[in-house]
Structure 1
């Protein structure tokens, strides 16, 4: 099967059509998950004339298999863990803390780089659209949702081009609405569905944020 999305920008444009009811709504903000979610979020924010910001989260990889997520952490320290992965991979509490410490340092580096002197936006009583370029395991998105919920928003909407059906069901009860272009029974590779899935750089994230500041 050939890719159905040209790139992240097209994914954002198509998602904005599904989100047309939110056009220029007051007290609404779009948050992209760096790095890959930011170009998607920027296209949504631009097409709907909404403010753009970021919610920085990081996957917590199993020490022996870093690509395997045992959880995720947000820049405010909020952590989501997957007990079954931790148990099956025999990850000790000490190992978890070591990974958390390392990833939190990277989170703070990115937060400072992307945000600079701009304060984190107040989300209290606002509608928040959280955007990523695809959701396979749901770990980073769940950490983002938990972090955003602590600020007591009025409504949380997830927008993503591609999502695994099982993860859709898991996240559905945690937010008000999930908007996706494609819901798949299994999702082994997000990049498979994009013709262009080049890695998003820090410089690109900073550029996209500067265009909306």
Structure 2
């Protein structure tokens, strides 16, 4: 499902509010909204509030190439979930040792973020529930695919991905999702931040506040 919405969002709060009509059909007692820290959480907060659903996070980390960190070769998530684009890794000539070093470093960062965000409460139980995964935008889809797998590990029986913006054809990439909802799919995607007037980085403190953590 997608909409030909206005292509620019004021900020993540605006994006979340404008995403709500496309996911309102999911409202119900079985729904849990999961934001992808950090940028996806403000978007997810607006969705959860509008749908009167509990809000939690699913922690993931992008695996960037050693000499081009912004280009994702894969991602890792809670519970040992991992996605690796082996064809792209081979094309870039990245060695297995380099991949493992990136994985080690990002796993340490992921574990630290999990400790900060999980210190005050346990993850919400997803057993038998619908997990609505929300991010502020989807580029390659690697982190969202890992998030889908992590939600399944936590017991979700249905996984829906929702995003304000993503490239055309993103649903074909997100094979782990039962449904993909995107507000705007530009033909020329560029980068997620291009579609926001305010794309200021979100801090862990802001994420904790939105989750109601001390």
- Fold equivalence (TM over 0.5): yes
Q: Distance in 2 between matches of 1:134 and 1:180?
A: 9
Among candidates 134, 137, 140, match of residue 140 of structure 2:
137
Equivalent residues of 2:60, 2:76 under 8 A apart: yes
- 8 Å contact from structure 2 (residues 7, 184) kept in 1: no
**Are the equivalent residues in 1 in contact too, given 2:167–2:188 (CA < 8 A)?**
yes
Report the Cα offset of residue 85 of structure 1: 1.7
The equivalent of 1:120 in structure 2 is 123
- The aligned length equals 209
Q: Does 2:46 match 1:43?
A: yes
Q: Which runs of 5+ in 2 are unaligned?
A: 1-5
The residue number in structure 2 matching 1:179 is 181
Counterpart check, 1:153 vs 2:146: no
Match for residue 96 of structure 1 among 96, 99, 123? 99
What secondary structure does 1:118 align onto?
A: coil
Report the Cα distance in structure 1 between the residues aligned to 2:165 and 2:26, rounded to whole angstroms: 20
2: CA distance, partners of 1:167 / 1:142: 11
Greater mean alpha carbon deviation, residues 66-75 or residues 12-21: 12-21
What is residue 200 of structure 1 aligned with on the other side?
A: 202
After TM superposition, list the pairs within 5 Å mapping 1:4-23 onto structure 2.
4-23=8-27
**Structure 1 residue 86 corresponds to structure 2 residue 89:** yes
Deviation at 1:75, TM superposition (A): 2.3
| Of 91, 108, 111, the match for 2:111 | 108
1:151 Cα deviation from its structure 2 partner: 3.1
TM superposition outliers: structure 1 runs of 4+ over 3 Å: none
Structure 1 residues 76 and 186 mapped into 2: Cα distance closer, same or farther (>3 Å)? Answer: farther
Give the match's secondary structure for 2:212: helix
CA distance in 1, matches of 2:204, 2:131: 23
Determine if contact 2:138/2:165 at 8 Å carries over to the other structure.
yes
SS of alignment partner, residue 185 of structure 2: strand
Per-residue CA deviations over 1:40-59 (Å, capped at 9, x if unaligned) read: 00010111111000000000
Q: Does 1:57 align with 2:38?
A: no
Are 1:167 and 2:170 counterparts?
A: yes
For residue 143 of structure 1, report the CA deviation from its aligned partner: 0.8
SS state at 1:68 partner: strand
Aligned equivalents of 1:123, 1:49: Cα separation in 2: 16
| 2:71 counterpart of 1:68 | yes
Superposed displacement of residue 3, structure 1: 5.7
Q: Which runs of 5+ in 1 are unaligned?
A: none
TM-score, with normalisation over the residues of structure 2? 0.92
